[in-house]
Structure 1
Amino acid sequence: MLWTLLVFHWSHQSFREQSIQPLLHKLFTKEEIHDYIPQVTVRYHHTIIRAQSDPMRFIEFIFRKTSHLVVYAVLAALAYQALCFWGSRRRKRILFSLLYVVVIAMGDEWVQSAAAMRTSAIQDVVLDTAGGLAGLSAAVWAVPWGIRLWRTSNRIKRREAGR
């Protein structure tokens, strides 16, 4: 629940409050990073970003979209884990977690539409859902597998230490 509140807190912030461009300009000059930026043009929600001509904007764009993926991956994983306490079946937990992510993503975009200098985009809902699917995959398959692997390695270590 706390993570959901954090998502909506970030949605209320203006674009300027969240911008990393001032920090990027302090750390680098356009010339310093020019060789590291690909020759690409990105079209996203009525915007065209040319990486070579505006590298700071491009880096911020990549940072923002990666943030969407990560924030919603965490949200989905936390939702799935929270539903584990209710003891519902695995399929229901997966379905409800994914539904929760989609509803929060749509609510997030709705809140952003009212925030200063922010826009609402269906592409972000799709991106958020993709992040949610990644987080859900980690919570359902990767995390339990990692825990089993960790437990197995600890048992092996204890057996070897006992010899």
Structure 2
Amino acid sequence: MSTHAPTPVPSTLRAVQATSIALLTTTAGLSASTSIFVVPRLMELQPRTLTSQFVRAIQSAHRLLVVPLVLPGFLNAYLAYRLPAKARLYALAAVLTFSNLPWTRAVMMPLNRKMERLNADPDGSENAHEVADKWATRNLYRGVVTFVAGCIGLYAALT
């Protein structure tokens, strides 16, 4: 009868796992809450005020959330390298995390730039509500994918 016990994970790797899971789940909530709570309140404003507040909110989020959204991708890639038995799970979590980068560049940035143009043009804010609505809907991808990556990381850490 074999009493093969799993090899314990070093505490440094446990810290990396915990950091990645915490960052992914926290930023998933922050990202989704922007779409679910912030943008709907902005939609209640007049177009000029909407564009101004939207641009300010996005600039603030960009300054605060880029590192917490990207760092877990590197942490999960590192975990995939260091923990070969869980490599596929951590690699999947890393790929999902990094998928936010092309999504942001291809889908979100054009909407951000459009809102900035509307904000700069005193007469051009007539479709600001439409742009904000599109942004909020498309931003949900980031929250969902980031949350799924966090859940995969949690599953890998616990199994």
Q: TM-score, normalised by structure 2?
A: 0.32
The structure that has the greater radius of gyration is 1
More helix by share: 2
- Considering fraction of residues, name the structure with more strand: 1
* Higher relative contact order structure (alpha carbons within 8 Å, sequence separation ≥ 6): 2
